[in-house]
Structure 1
Amino acid sequence: MIDTDDVDVYLGLDVGKGEHHATALTPAGKRVFDKRLPNTEPKLREVFTKLRARYGTVLVVVDQPASIGALPLAVARDTGCRVAYLPGLTMRPIADLHPGEAKTDARDAAIIADAARTMPHTLRDLAPSDETVPSWR
């Protein structure tokens, strides 16, 4: 289980090819960021760095750790954020507990962030590997 006692912001990322949707929640559940985020290294770096500077420890949680999720994970690590993965098979039953039936990127990002905040036992730790840390520099 991932220890989240020191986490100040839970950033859920519903990853996509061209852009992601990012939702950040404080431990109390206050939404402090909720926007589309281009899948570019400079923009990811800017958002992660600003969240860390303003709030402290940031846990970035993705729904896909490989391929399209690799760049956000690499940038998050490089900016000093912690990272984790919420598997799809775990996320779907959690999503059923949240209001709304439509599957949208914004809803999924909020569910990822809330699951990280309230159910850290559902998260998987992501150790750096060649598959999840590309040579994007």
Structure 2
Amino acid sequence: MDHIWAGIDIGKEHHHCVVINSDGKRLLSRRIANDETELLALVADVCALGNDVTWTVDVVDGGAALMLAILLGHDQGVLSLSGRAVHRAAAGYRGEGKSDARDAAIIADLPAARIA
């Protein structure tokens, strides 16, 4: 399987995850509650899409604590992009206005562009 990138727009009560492949094709887009059961299901579903996943989040404290603990507990590497970097990058992306799904797609895409 190809390398895939999972971007998570972290929120207090809900997160949004977008997964893309090396061609930039969106493989998954999902809003999930900041709940252990839902986050575990997300990690399993994303890992089923590819065995080489780069996870990236836009927040590393507060509401991200459970997501980060689950990822690290499952030996998943995690990168971080600042909210400012996501905001600046958003100007270069076409599409709808600000949304959690759009931010998650940008969070997935930026590391993919640097690594690919």
Whether the TM-score (by the shorter chain) exceeds 0.5 is: yes
Contact 1:52 1:81 in 2 (8 A): no
State the 1:15 CA deviation. 0.8
Report the AA paired with residue 76 of structure 1: L
Which residue in 2 is equivalent to 1:79?
74
Equivalent residue pairs, number: 114
In structure 2, list runs of 5 or more residues that go unmatched.
none
State the 1:91 CA deviation. 1.8
Partners of 2:71 and 2:114 in 1: CA distance: 21
Partners of 2:77 and 2:111 in 1: CA distance: 12
Contact 2:57 2:80 in 1 (8 A): yes
* Identity among equivalent pairs (%): 33
Which residue in 2 is equivalent to 1:114?
109
1:49 matched to 2:44: yes
In structure 1, list runs of 5 or more residues that go unmatched.
1-6, 121-137
Which residue in 2 is equivalent to 1:135?
none
1:101–1:47 CA distance, 2 compared to 1 (3 A): closer
User: Quick check: which one's helix share is greater?
Assistant: 2
Which residue in 2 is equivalent to 1:103?
98
The DSSP-based 3-state class of the residue aligned with 2:12 is coil
1:27 matched to 2:22: yes
Contact 2:71 2:78 in 1 (8 A): yes
Which residue in 1 is equivalent to 2:57?
62
State the 1:101 CA deviation. 5.8
User: Quick check: which one's strand share is greater?
Assistant: 2
RMSD over aligned Cα atoms = 1.6
The runs of at least 4 consecutive aligned structure 1 residues that moved more than 6 Å come to none
The DSSP-based 3-state class of the residue aligned with 2:17 is strand
State the 1:32 CA deviation. 0.9
